Amino acid sequence: MVPAQMMGHTGQGIDGVVLYFTDSLVCDVLNFSNAPNVIDHITHNCHIGNVDVWAKNYSDWFGMYQNMYFDIDGKETGLISRAMMSNNGNMAIPLNEDKNDKGQIAKYLKDFNGEGVQHIALHTNDIYSTVKQLKVNGMQFLDIPDSYYDMIADRIDYHEEDIDVLRELGILIDGSKEDGILLQIFTKEAIGPVFFEIIQRKGNTGFGHGNFKALFEAIERDQLN
């Protein structure tokens, strides 16, 4: 998403974490009428065994509580995720850790030189127009396996989305008639190993549990290229 010549790093932060900065021109990517301007959630990647440690830290420091727990198996690896929520419900921080040292979280930890924010999710009220404009502005998104869209009907019992449009734009869908629908899309790595998510919620309060496997496969493929 961000050209290499527009990105650098200032050195190392706490515990050796690399500090990145971006040119002010990056802001132009989000300079349009329907640009997302609210943070939906921030995902924090952890070393194996540290999700519980960080969950306790967020609880002790900020009074956050766990509102969701996922145990996901991907094609090559898997992850454990605990989603921490603020008491007012305005901030969510999913905490993720790999099940082994070969997953995309392990690569992130190596590239980032430690634990930290994997991606920032930005909320929009119209993901279709937002994504179209972001693509015009030069933002690059992960490629999603075409077979993902062929299986939507088997996975989601009810929705009003146009699958052909989802496929064309690379947008993921999750949810159910009872839980509501969630639409999301992920950029390629943008600031070091950090990337962004664009999300629209139609009554769904989750984080795309059903899309984790598809996201895992897409990220792993992107990292190999």
* 214: nearest Cα among 194, 186, 190, 193: 186
- How far is it, in rounded angstroms, from Cα 224 to Cα 55? 31
Residue 98 and residue 118 in contact, taking contact as beta carbons nearer than 8 Å = no
Tell me: the pLDDT tens digits for 195-209? 999 999 999 988 887
State the average pLDDT over residues 26-52. Answer: 84
As a whole number, mean pLDDT of residues 125-136 equals 94
pLDDT greater than 60 at residue 5:
no
Enter the pTM of the model. 0.81
The residue whose two tokens read 């993921």 is: 172
Domain 23-224 has CATH 3.40.30.10: no
The pLDDT of residue 34 is 79
The rounded mean pLDDT for the chain is 84
H or E segment to which residue 221 belongs: helix 212-224
For the chain, helix (H) and strand (E) counts, in that order, are 7, 10
**Domain residue ranges in the chain:** 23-224
Q: For 37-63, what is the mean pLDDT?
A: 94
Q: How far apart are the first and last CA of the chain?
A: 15
